[in-house]
Chains A and B, each alone.
Chain A
Amino acid sequence: MKRKTFIQQSTAGIALVTLGGFGFQSCNANVKTKKITILHTNDVHSHIDAFGPDDARNANQGGVARRATLVEAIRNENPNTLLLDAGDIFQGTPYFNYYGGELEFKLMSKMKYDAATIGNHDFDNGIDGLYAQLPHASFKFLSANYDFKNTVMDTQVKPYHVFIKEGLKIGVFGLGIKLEGLVGKKMYKETDYLDPIEIATDMSRILKEDEQCDLIICLSHLGYHYSKNPDRVSDLVLAKSTKNIDLIIGGHTHTFLPKPTVAQNNEGKNVLVNQVGCYGINLGKIDFYFDSENNKTADGTSIIV
Protein backbone atom coordinates (compact mmCIF):
# COMPACT_ATOMS: atom_id res chain seq x y z
CA MET A 1 0.00 0.00 0.00
CA LYS A 2 2.73 2.40 0.93
CA ARG A 3 4.64 1.64 -2.23
CA LYS A 4 1.52 2.31 -4.27
CA THR A 5 0.82 5.70 -2.76
CA PHE A 6 4.42 6.65 -3.26
CA ILE A 7 4.30 5.88 -6.99
CA GLN A 8 1.07 7.80 -7.47
CA GLN A 9 2.42 10.84 -5.77
CA SER A 10 3.95 12.82 -8.64
CA THR A 11 0.96 12.92 -10.96
CA ALA A 12 -1.78 13.12 -8.37
CA GLY A 13 0.05 15.89 -6.54
CA ILE A 14 -0.29 18.20 -9.50
CA ALA A 15 -3.93 17.28 -10.05
CA LEU A 16 -4.77 18.11 -6.46
CA VAL A 17 -3.17 21.51 -6.66
CA THR A 18 -5.19 22.47 -9.72
CA LEU A 19 -8.43 21.15 -8.27
CA GLY A 20 -8.11 22.19 -4.68
CA GLY A 21 -7.45 25.88 -5.23
CA PHE A 22 -4.44 26.01 -2.95
CA GLY A 23 -2.82 29.32 -2.12
CA PHE A 24 -0.54 30.97 -4.64
CA GLN A 25 2.70 29.78 -3.11
CA SER A 26 1.51 26.19 -2.92
CA CYS A 27 1.08 26.17 -6.69
CA ASN A 28 4.72 25.32 -7.06
CA ALA A 29 4.12 21.65 -7.72
CA ASN A 30 7.83 20.91 -7.59
CA VAL A 31 7.90 21.49 -3.86
CA LYS A 32 7.25 18.08 -2.38
CA THR A 33 8.21 18.79 1.20
CA LYS A 34 8.03 21.95 3.23
CA LYS A 35 9.78 22.45 6.51
CA ILE A 36 8.71 24.85 9.23
CA THR A 37 11.08 25.40 12.14
CA ILE A 38 9.76 26.62 15.47
CA LEU A 39 12.34 28.04 17.87
CA HIS A 40 11.35 28.85 21.40
CA THR A 41 12.42 30.15 24.79
CA ASN A 42 10.61 30.60 28.11
CA ASP A 43 11.32 32.19 31.50
CA VAL A 44 14.41 34.01 30.32
CA HIS A 45 13.92 36.33 33.35
CA SER A 46 16.11 39.21 32.19
CA HIS A 47 19.17 37.00 31.75
CA ILE A 48 20.81 39.22 29.15
CA ASP A 49 24.36 38.14 29.97
CA ALA A 50 25.62 34.56 30.16
CA PHE A 51 26.16 33.13 33.64
CA GLY A 52 29.60 33.90 35.04
CA PRO A 53 32.39 31.31 35.17
CA ASP A 54 31.93 30.89 38.95
CA ASP A 55 28.23 30.09 38.86
CA ALA A 56 27.69 26.85 40.76
CA ARG A 57 25.03 25.49 38.41
CA ASN A 58 25.07 27.18 35.03
CA ALA A 59 28.63 28.48 34.54
CA ASN A 60 29.16 30.13 31.14
CA GLN A 61 25.71 29.14 29.87
CA GLY A 62 23.09 31.31 28.22
CA GLY A 63 23.46 34.91 27.08
CA VAL A 64 21.39 36.80 24.51
CA ALA A 65 24.33 37.61 22.18
CA ARG A 66 25.13 33.89 21.86
CA ARG A 67 21.50 32.93 21.35
CA ALA A 68 21.41 35.50 18.53
CA THR A 69 24.27 33.72 16.73
CA LEU A 70 22.46 30.37 16.98
CA VAL A 71 19.11 31.77 15.84
CA GLU A 72 20.72 33.42 12.83
CA ALA A 73 22.46 30.19 11.82
CA ILE A 74 19.17 28.29 12.01
CA ARG A 75 17.35 30.97 10.02
CA ASN A 76 20.03 30.85 7.33
CA GLU A 77 19.46 27.12 7.07
CA ASN A 78 15.66 27.47 7.00
CA PRO A 79 14.09 30.88 6.41
CA ASN A 80 10.68 29.39 7.28
CA THR A 81 11.34 29.78 10.97
CA LEU A 82 9.27 31.27 13.78
CA LEU A 83 10.83 32.41 17.05
CA LEU A 84 8.49 32.37 20.06
CA ASP A 85 8.67 33.01 23.81
CA ALA A 86 6.35 31.56 26.47
CA GLY A 87 6.54 34.41 28.99
CA ASP A 88 8.40 35.63 32.09
CA ILE A 89 10.66 37.76 29.99
CA PHE A 90 11.07 40.10 32.96
CA GLN A 91 12.59 39.90 36.46
CA GLY A 92 15.64 38.02 37.60
CA THR A 93 18.65 40.29 37.09
CA PRO A 94 19.28 43.97 37.83
CA TYR A 95 18.81 44.69 34.10
CA PHE A 96 15.11 44.54 34.81
CA ASN A 97 15.27 46.51 38.06
CA TYR A 98 17.27 49.23 36.35
CA TYR A 99 15.78 49.49 32.90
CA GLY A 100 12.30 48.06 33.42
CA GLY A 101 12.46 45.51 30.59
CA GLU A 102 13.49 47.95 27.86
CA LEU A 103 16.64 46.05 26.94
CA GLU A 104 14.90 42.65 27.02
CA PHE A 105 12.31 43.85 24.47
CA LYS A 106 14.88 45.65 22.31
CA LEU A 107 17.05 42.55 22.02
CA MET A 108 14.11 40.24 21.35
CA SER A 109 12.94 42.61 18.62
CA LYS A 110 16.40 42.70 17.05
CA MET A 111 16.50 38.90 17.16
CA LYS A 112 13.17 39.02 15.26
CA TYR A 113 11.01 37.22 17.78
CA ASP A 114 7.65 36.71 16.14
CA ALA A 115 5.48 36.45 19.25
CA ALA A 116 5.47 36.06 23.03
CA THR A 117 2.85 35.32 25.63
CA ILE A 118 2.67 37.06 28.99
CA GLY A 119 3.98 35.46 32.17
CA ASN A 120 3.14 36.39 35.77
CA HIS A 121 6.49 38.13 36.25
CA ASP A 122 5.83 40.34 33.25
CA PHE A 123 3.47 42.19 35.62
CA ASP A 124 6.24 42.84 38.16
CA ASN A 125 6.36 46.55 37.37
CA GLY A 126 2.60 46.55 37.20
CA ILE A 127 0.53 46.42 34.06
CA ASP A 128 1.55 50.05 33.48
CA GLY A 129 5.21 49.04 33.62
CA LEU A 130 4.58 46.41 30.96
CA TYR A 131 2.63 48.85 28.82
CA ALA A 132 5.43 51.43 29.11
CA GLN A 133 7.91 49.04 27.50
CA LEU A 134 5.70 48.11 24.52
CA PRO A 135 7.28 50.74 22.22
CA HIS A 136 10.51 48.70 22.43
CA ALA A 137 8.82 45.49 21.24
CA SER A 138 8.27 44.83 17.54
CA PHE A 139 6.97 41.29 18.14
CA LYS A 140 3.40 40.34 18.92
CA PHE A 141 1.93 39.68 22.36
CA LEU A 142 -0.57 36.83 22.31
CA SER A 143 -2.90 35.92 25.15
CA ALA A 144 -6.32 34.43 24.67
CA ASN A 145 -7.36 33.99 28.31
CA TYR A 146 -6.32 37.36 29.74
CA ASP A 147 -9.05 39.87 29.06
CA PHE A 148 -7.36 43.27 29.07
CA LYS A 149 -10.33 45.33 27.96
CA ASN A 150 -10.49 47.37 31.18
CA THR A 151 -6.72 47.97 31.31
CA VAL A 152 -4.09 50.01 29.47
CA MET A 153 -3.11 46.84 27.59
CA ASP A 154 -6.45 46.82 25.75
CA THR A 155 -5.88 46.32 22.00
CA GLN A 156 -2.14 45.71 22.57
CA VAL A 157 -2.55 41.97 22.98
CA LYS A 158 -4.25 39.63 20.53
CA PRO A 159 -5.64 36.18 21.36
CA TYR A 160 -3.93 34.59 18.36
CA HIS A 161 -2.11 35.29 15.14
CA VAL A 162 -1.86 33.31 11.93
CA PHE A 163 1.63 33.37 10.45
CA ILE A 164 2.07 32.33 6.82
CA LYS A 165 5.30 30.64 5.85
CA GLU A 166 5.70 29.17 2.37
CA GLY A 167 1.96 29.15 1.94
CA LEU A 168 1.38 27.21 5.15
CA LYS A 169 -0.78 28.74 7.85
CA ILE A 170 0.60 28.53 11.37
CA GLY A 171 -1.87 29.56 14.05
CA VAL A 172 -0.36 30.59 17.38
CA PHE A 173 -2.40 31.45 20.47
CA GLY A 174 -1.33 32.38 24.00
CA LEU A 175 -2.45 31.24 27.46
CA GLY A 176 -1.54 32.76 30.83
CA ILE A 177 -1.64 31.52 34.40
CA LYS A 178 -4.17 32.58 37.05
CA LEU A 179 -2.85 35.84 38.47
CA GLU A 180 -4.84 36.00 41.69
CA GLY A 181 -2.66 34.88 44.60
CA LEU A 182 0.45 34.94 42.40
CA VAL A 183 0.61 38.61 41.48
CA GLY A 184 -0.67 41.54 43.53
CA LYS A 185 -4.03 42.86 42.35
CA LYS A 186 -2.47 46.32 42.27
CA MET A 187 -0.11 45.00 39.62
CA TYR A 188 -2.49 43.27 37.23
CA LYS A 189 -5.41 45.60 38.01
CA GLU A 190 -8.53 44.77 35.97
CA THR A 191 -6.95 41.98 33.91
CA ASP A 192 -9.55 39.22 33.77
CA TYR A 193 -8.43 35.61 33.83
CA LEU A 194 -10.54 33.26 31.72
CA ASP A 195 -10.60 29.47 31.90
CA PRO A 196 -7.63 28.20 29.84
CA ILE A 197 -9.26 24.93 28.75
CA GLU A 198 -12.45 26.60 27.52
CA ILE A 199 -10.45 29.26 25.73
CA ALA A 200 -8.04 26.74 24.21
CA THR A 201 -11.03 24.72 22.96
CA ASP A 202 -12.40 27.83 21.25
CA MET A 203 -9.02 28.87 19.90
CA SER A 204 -8.15 25.51 18.40
CA ARG A 205 -11.58 25.36 16.72
CA ILE A 206 -11.21 28.87 15.28
CA LEU A 207 -7.69 28.20 14.06
CA LYS A 208 -8.60 24.81 12.58
CA GLU A 209 -12.03 25.49 11.09
CA ASP A 210 -12.26 29.21 10.48
CA GLU A 211 -8.63 30.04 9.77
CA GLN A 212 -7.85 26.65 8.16
CA CYS A 213 -4.44 26.45 9.79
CA ASP A 214 -1.97 23.75 8.83
CA LEU A 215 -0.27 23.93 12.21
CA ILE A 216 -1.62 25.02 15.61
CA ILE A 217 0.69 26.09 18.40
CA CYS A 218 -0.20 27.09 21.94
CA LEU A 219 2.21 29.41 23.78
CA SER A 220 1.48 28.66 27.40
CA HIS A 221 2.61 30.04 30.74
CA LEU A 222 0.42 27.59 32.68
CA GLY A 223 3.28 25.36 33.84
CA TYR A 224 4.24 21.90 32.62
CA HIS A 225 2.59 19.72 35.29
CA TYR A 226 1.84 19.89 39.03
CA SER A 227 2.65 16.49 40.52
CA LYS A 228 1.17 17.34 43.96
CA ASN A 229 -1.98 18.62 42.33
CA PRO A 230 -2.22 16.78 38.99
CA ASP A 231 -5.70 18.13 38.16
CA ARG A 232 -4.56 21.73 38.31
CA VAL A 233 -4.54 23.17 34.82
CA SER A 234 -1.12 22.69 33.23
CA ASP A 235 0.31 21.93 29.80
CA LEU A 236 -0.21 18.18 30.24
CA VAL A 237 -3.81 18.74 31.37
CA LEU A 238 -4.34 21.11 28.44
CA ALA A 239 -2.89 18.58 25.97
CA LYS A 240 -5.29 15.80 26.97
CA SER A 241 -8.36 18.06 27.31
CA THR A 242 -8.27 19.61 23.85
CA LYS A 243 -7.85 18.66 20.19
CA ASN A 244 -6.18 19.98 17.04
CA ILE A 245 -3.21 21.48 18.89
CA ASP A 246 0.09 20.25 17.42
CA LEU A 247 2.53 21.83 19.83
CA ILE A 248 2.33 23.34 23.31
CA ILE A 249 5.30 25.51 24.17
CA GLY A 250 5.31 25.94 27.93
CA GLY A 251 6.85 27.98 30.71
CA HIS A 252 6.44 29.01 34.36
CA THR A 253 7.60 25.82 36.08
CA HIS A 254 11.17 26.24 34.77
CA THR A 255 11.04 22.60 33.70
CA PHE A 256 14.10 21.11 32.04
CA LEU A 257 12.89 18.20 29.94
CA PRO A 258 15.32 15.59 28.65
CA LYS A 259 13.31 15.70 25.41
CA PRO A 260 9.94 17.05 24.26
CA THR A 261 6.98 15.13 25.68
CA VAL A 262 4.62 13.32 23.30
CA ALA A 263 1.16 13.55 24.90
CA GLN A 264 -2.24 12.45 23.60
CA ASN A 265 -5.17 14.79 23.03
CA ASN A 266 -8.84 14.02 23.66
CA GLU A 267 -9.04 12.29 20.27
CA GLY A 268 -6.01 10.12 21.02
CA LYS A 269 -3.81 12.06 18.63
CA ASN A 270 -0.30 13.14 19.47
CA VAL A 271 0.49 16.58 20.88
CA LEU A 272 4.05 17.68 21.45
CA VAL A 273 4.67 19.51 24.75
CA ASN A 274 7.98 21.24 25.26
CA GLN A 275 9.64 23.61 27.74
CA VAL A 276 13.34 24.49 27.86
CA GLY A 277 14.04 25.27 31.52
CA CYS A 278 14.79 28.93 32.13
CA TYR A 279 17.26 31.84 31.97
CA GLY A 280 18.01 31.45 28.26
CA ILE A 281 20.15 28.37 28.90
CA ASN A 282 18.50 26.46 26.05
CA LEU A 283 16.73 27.07 22.78
CA GLY A 284 13.92 24.71 21.79
CA LYS A 285 13.82 23.65 18.13
CA ILE A 286 10.90 21.78 16.60
CA ASP A 287 10.90 21.03 12.87
CA PHE A 288 7.61 20.27 11.15
CA TYR A 289 7.79 18.57 7.74
CA PHE A 290 4.82 18.76 5.39
CA ASP A 291 4.29 16.51 2.38
CA SER A 292 1.79 16.77 -0.42
CA GLU A 293 -1.50 15.10 0.45
CA ASN A 294 -1.14 11.65 -1.09
CA ASN A 295 2.41 11.17 -0.03
CA LYS A 296 0.94 10.54 3.38
CA THR A 297 1.78 7.18 4.82
CA ALA A 298 -0.76 5.00 6.56
CA ASP A 299 1.10 5.57 9.83
CA GLY A 300 0.33 9.29 9.90
CA THR A 301 2.87 11.66 11.35
CA SER A 302 6.13 10.30 12.65
CA ILE A 303 7.62 12.04 15.67
CA ILE A 304 11.32 11.98 16.36
CA VAL A 305 12.37 13.35 19.74
Chain B
Amino acid sequence: MVLSKIEGKQIGIKDSLKIDQDFDSIIAPYRTRLEEDMNTVLSYAPETYSKRDGHLNTAIGNLMAEIVFKEGNYIFNKRTNKNIDAVLLNHGGIRSIISKGNITTETAFQVMPFENSIVVVALKGQQMDSMMTYLSYAKRAHPIEGITLTLDKNYKISEALIQGKPIIKDKTYYLATNDYLYNGGDRMRFFKPNDSVYYLDYKIRNAMIDYFKKVDTINPKIDNRFTQTK
Protein backbone atom coordinates (compact mmCIF):
# COMPACT_ATOMS: atom_id res chain seq x y z
CA MET B 1 0.00 0.00 0.00
CA VAL B 2 1.14 3.55 -0.59
CA LEU B 3 0.45 6.74 1.23
CA SER B 4 -1.92 8.75 -0.94
CA LYS B 5 -3.28 11.50 1.27
CA ILE B 6 -2.55 13.19 4.59
CA GLU B 7 -5.00 15.40 6.43
CA GLY B 8 -3.83 17.31 9.48
CA LYS B 9 -5.53 19.63 11.94
CA GLN B 10 -5.87 20.36 15.61
CA ILE B 11 -8.99 20.22 17.72
CA GLY B 12 -9.49 22.55 20.66
CA ILE B 13 -10.47 20.97 23.97
CA LYS B 14 -13.41 23.29 24.61
CA ASP B 15 -16.07 23.24 27.30
CA SER B 16 -18.59 22.16 24.69
CA LEU B 17 -17.04 18.68 25.01
CA LYS B 18 -18.76 16.50 27.58
CA ILE B 19 -16.78 15.59 30.71
CA ASP B 20 -16.15 11.85 30.76
CA GLN B 21 -17.53 10.78 34.14
CA ASP B 22 -15.27 7.73 34.45
CA PHE B 23 -12.25 9.99 34.20
CA ASP B 24 -13.70 12.62 36.45
CA SER B 25 -14.43 10.10 39.19
CA ILE B 26 -10.78 8.96 39.13
CA ILE B 27 -9.63 12.57 39.45
CA ALA B 28 -12.16 13.59 42.13
CA PRO B 29 -10.45 12.21 45.28
CA TYR B 30 -7.08 13.64 44.21
CA ARG B 31 -8.70 16.99 43.49
CA THR B 32 -10.55 17.09 46.80
CA ARG B 33 -7.45 16.45 48.87
CA LEU B 34 -5.49 18.97 46.84
CA GLU B 35 -8.10 21.71 47.21
CA GLU B 36 -8.36 21.13 50.94
CA ASP B 37 -4.61 21.52 51.25
CA MET B 38 -4.40 24.47 48.90
CA ASN B 39 -7.05 26.30 50.88
CA THR B 40 -5.45 25.64 54.27
CA VAL B 41 -4.77 28.98 55.95
CA LEU B 42 -1.18 29.14 57.18
CA SER B 43 -0.63 32.80 58.05
CA TYR B 44 -1.93 36.31 57.45
CA ALA B 45 -0.69 39.18 55.28
CA PRO B 46 -1.61 42.63 56.65
CA GLU B 47 -0.81 44.23 53.29
CA THR B 48 -0.27 43.29 49.64
CA TYR B 49 3.41 42.70 48.84
CA SER B 50 4.86 42.96 45.35
CA LYS B 51 8.43 42.63 44.10
CA ARG B 52 7.90 45.91 42.23
CA ASP B 53 7.55 47.90 45.45
CA GLY B 54 11.04 49.06 46.36
CA HIS B 55 14.26 50.05 44.59
CA LEU B 56 17.14 47.80 45.72
CA ASN B 57 15.23 45.85 48.35
CA THR B 58 11.59 44.93 48.62
CA ALA B 59 9.44 43.70 51.49
CA ILE B 60 8.52 40.46 49.69
CA GLY B 61 12.16 39.85 48.74
CA ASN B 62 13.29 40.46 52.31
CA LEU B 63 10.65 37.98 53.44
CA MET B 64 11.90 35.32 50.99
CA ALA B 65 15.49 35.85 52.12
CA GLU B 66 14.48 35.63 55.77
CA ILE B 67 12.61 32.37 55.11
CA VAL B 68 15.63 30.79 53.44
CA PHE B 69 17.90 32.11 56.20
CA LYS B 70 15.79 30.88 59.13
CA GLU B 71 14.33 27.63 57.83
CA GLY B 72 17.47 26.77 55.86
CA ASN B 73 19.79 27.43 58.77
CA TYR B 74 17.76 25.18 61.02
CA ILE B 75 18.59 22.21 58.77
CA PHE B 76 22.10 23.36 57.83
CA ASN B 77 23.07 23.81 61.46
CA LYS B 78 21.70 20.43 62.50
CA ARG B 79 23.69 18.71 59.76
CA THR B 80 26.97 20.61 59.92
CA ASN B 81 27.06 22.55 63.19
CA LYS B 82 27.81 25.60 61.07
CA ASN B 83 25.62 28.63 60.44
CA ILE B 84 24.53 30.40 57.29
CA ASP B 85 26.16 33.86 57.04
CA ALA B 86 24.16 35.27 54.17
CA VAL B 87 21.40 34.57 51.65
CA LEU B 88 21.17 35.52 48.01
CA LEU B 89 18.15 34.75 45.83
CA ASN B 90 16.97 36.24 42.55
CA HIS B 91 14.37 38.91 42.03
CA GLY B 92 12.93 37.03 39.02
CA GLY B 93 12.30 33.98 41.18
CA ILE B 94 9.41 35.70 42.95
CA ARG B 95 6.58 34.67 40.65
CA SER B 96 3.58 36.31 42.27
CA ILE B 97 2.46 38.93 44.74
CA ILE B 98 1.29 38.04 48.22
CA SER B 99 -2.19 39.51 48.54
CA LYS B 100 -3.52 41.13 51.67
CA GLY B 101 -5.49 38.58 53.68
CA ASN B 102 -5.05 34.91 54.42
CA ILE B 103 -1.89 33.20 53.27
CA THR B 104 -2.67 29.65 52.14
CA THR B 105 -0.64 26.76 50.79
CA GLU B 106 -1.68 27.99 47.36
CA THR B 107 0.07 31.31 48.07
CA ALA B 108 3.35 29.43 48.44
CA PHE B 109 2.71 27.61 45.15
CA GLN B 110 1.96 30.90 43.40
CA VAL B 111 5.02 32.75 44.68
CA MET B 112 7.28 29.72 44.17
CA PRO B 113 5.87 27.31 41.56
CA PHE B 114 9.29 25.78 40.81
CA GLU B 115 10.94 22.88 42.55
CA ASN B 116 14.10 24.78 43.45
CA SER B 117 15.90 23.73 46.61
CA ILE B 118 18.21 25.47 49.05
CA VAL B 119 21.93 25.08 48.48
CA VAL B 120 24.58 26.39 50.90
CA VAL B 121 27.92 27.24 49.32
CA ALA B 122 31.17 27.79 51.21
CA LEU B 123 32.86 30.83 49.63
CA LYS B 124 36.00 32.75 50.42
CA GLY B 125 35.86 36.48 51.11
CA GLN B 126 37.18 37.22 47.65
CA GLN B 127 34.16 35.56 46.04
CA MET B 128 31.85 37.42 48.41
CA ASP B 129 33.44 40.57 46.98
CA SER B 130 32.59 39.33 43.47
CA MET B 131 29.03 38.78 44.60
CA MET B 132 28.85 42.37 45.92
CA THR B 133 30.20 43.63 42.60
CA TYR B 134 27.59 41.54 40.79
CA LEU B 135 24.84 43.08 42.91
CA SER B 136 26.13 46.59 42.26
CA TYR B 137 26.12 45.98 38.50
CA ALA B 138 22.75 44.22 38.52
CA LYS B 139 21.06 47.17 40.28
CA ARG B 140 18.15 44.86 41.00
CA ALA B 141 16.40 44.01 44.23
CA HIS B 142 17.73 40.47 44.39
CA PRO B 143 16.60 39.21 47.81
CA ILE B 144 19.47 39.22 50.33
CA GLU B 145 19.89 38.62 54.05
CA GLY B 146 22.97 38.98 56.27
CA ILE B 147 24.39 41.42 53.73
CA THR B 148 24.58 45.20 53.92
CA LEU B 149 25.43 46.87 50.66
CA THR B 150 25.51 50.60 50.07
CA LEU B 151 26.08 52.12 46.65
CA ASP B 152 26.95 55.72 45.86
CA LYS B 153 25.09 57.77 43.31
CA ASN B 154 27.15 56.18 40.50
CA TYR B 155 26.27 52.67 41.70
CA LYS B 156 29.84 52.19 43.03
CA ILE B 157 30.12 50.21 46.26
CA SER B 158 30.68 52.49 49.25
CA GLU B 159 30.15 49.83 51.91
CA ALA B 160 29.79 46.05 51.80
CA LEU B 161 29.30 44.07 55.02
CA ILE B 162 28.50 40.46 55.97
CA GLN B 163 26.79 40.11 59.32
CA GLY B 164 27.61 43.78 59.94
CA LYS B 165 31.36 43.28 59.49
CA PRO B 166 33.76 44.03 56.63
CA ILE B 167 34.58 41.05 54.39
CA ILE B 168 37.79 39.21 55.31
CA LYS B 169 39.58 37.93 52.21
CA ASP B 170 40.56 34.44 53.43
CA LYS B 171 37.57 33.76 55.66
CA THR B 172 35.04 31.13 54.60
CA TYR B 173 31.46 32.33 54.42
CA TYR B 174 28.37 30.15 54.12
CA LEU B 175 26.06 31.61 51.52
CA ALA B 176 22.60 30.10 51.03
CA THR B 177 21.02 30.29 47.59
CA ASN B 178 18.95 28.04 45.35
CA ASP B 179 20.13 25.33 42.98
CA TYR B 180 19.06 27.35 39.92
CA LEU B 181 21.41 30.22 40.78
CA TYR B 182 24.14 27.89 41.98
CA ASN B 183 24.13 26.33 38.52
CA GLY B 184 24.73 29.67 36.81
CA GLY B 185 21.19 31.04 36.56
CA ASP B 186 20.93 34.85 36.19
CA ARG B 187 24.66 34.79 35.30
CA MET B 188 25.73 34.46 38.91
CA ARG B 189 29.13 32.97 38.23
CA PHE B 190 30.77 33.57 41.61
CA PHE B 191 29.56 30.33 43.24
CA LYS B 192 32.24 28.26 41.52
CA PRO B 193 34.87 27.22 42.33
CA ASN B 194 34.04 26.87 46.01
CA ASP B 195 35.35 25.17 49.13
CA SER B 196 32.28 22.96 49.44
CA VAL B 197 28.59 22.84 48.63
CA TYR B 198 25.75 21.49 50.77
CA TYR B 199 22.52 20.40 49.11
CA LEU B 200 19.88 20.67 51.81
CA ASP B 201 17.29 18.79 49.69
CA TYR B 202 14.83 21.30 51.06
CA LYS B 203 12.55 23.00 48.56
CA ILE B 204 12.16 26.76 48.87
CA ARG B 205 8.40 26.31 48.70
CA ASN B 206 8.44 23.87 51.62
CA ALA B 207 10.58 26.32 53.59
CA MET B 208 7.90 28.96 52.89
CA ILE B 209 5.11 26.67 54.07
CA ASP B 210 7.06 25.76 57.22
CA TYR B 211 7.75 29.42 57.94
CA PHE B 212 4.14 30.51 57.38
CA LYS B 213 2.94 27.80 59.76
CA LYS B 214 5.07 29.30 62.53
CA VAL B 215 4.26 32.96 61.91
CA ASP B 216 0.75 34.17 62.70
CA THR B 217 1.05 37.45 60.77
CA ILE B 218 3.92 38.26 58.44
CA ASN B 219 5.39 41.73 58.69
CA PRO B 220 8.15 42.22 56.10
CA LYS B 221 9.58 45.70 55.55
CA ILE B 222 11.80 47.52 53.12
CA ASP B 223 14.96 48.42 55.08
CA ASN B 224 18.52 49.65 54.51
CA ARG B 225 20.24 46.33 53.69
CA PHE B 226 20.74 47.32 50.05
CA THR B 227 20.52 51.01 49.28
CA GLN B 228 21.91 53.79 47.17
CA THR B 229 22.93 57.14 48.65
CA LYS B 230 21.84 60.03 46.48
Interface set of A (CB-CB < 8 Å, partner B) = 26, 33-34, 48-50, 60-70, 72, 91, 94-95, 97-99, 103, 106-107, 110-111, 124-125, 168, 181, 184, 186, 214-215, 246, 257, 259-260, 272, 274, 276, 280-293, 295-297, 301-305
Contact = CB atoms under 8 A, between A and B. Distances in A.
B11 A285 contact: yes
Q: Nearest 10 CB-CB pairs, A to B?
A: A260-B8, A65-B23, A68-B20, A290-B1, A289-B5, A66-B17, A60-B15, A291-B4, A286-B8, A287-B7
16 contacts: A61-B12, A61-B13, A65-B27, A66-B18, A68-B20, A68-B23, A69-B17, A94-B37, A95-B30, A98-B30, A110-B22, A110-B23, A124-B115, A260-B9, A303-B6, A304-B7
A62 to B, nearest CB: 5
B170 interface: no
A126 B183 CA distance: 16
Interface in B1-45: 1-15, 17-24, 26-27, 30-31, 33-34, 37-38
B19 A65 contact: yes
Interface of A is mostly: mixed
Interface of B: 1-15, 17-24, 26-27, 30-31, 33-34, 37-38, 106, 109, 115, 179, 183-184, 199, 205
Given A68-B23, A69-B18, A293-B1, A63 B8 contact: no
A246 B3 contact: yes
A291 B15 contact: no
Contact of A305 (B1, B9, B12): B9
B111 to A, nearest CB: 13
A302 B6 contact: yes
A168 B7 CA distance: 18
Given A184-B179, A282-B12, A65 B4 contact: no
B8 A62 contact: no
B27 A64 contact: yes
Contacts of A285: 8-11
B189 to A, nearest CB: 14
A69 B23 CA distance: 9
A98 B34 contact: yes
Contacts of B8: 259-260, 272, 274, 284-287, 303-305
Contact of B6 (A26, A64, A272, A282): A272
Contacts of B38: 94
A141 to B, nearest CB: 21
Given A110-B23, A280-B13, 12 more contacts: A48-B27, A66-B18, A67-B17, A91-B115, A184-B183, A259-B10, A281-B13, A289-B7, A290-B3, A290-B4, A293-B1, A301-B4
B19 A301 contact: no
Given A70-B13, A282-B11, A103 B6 contact: no
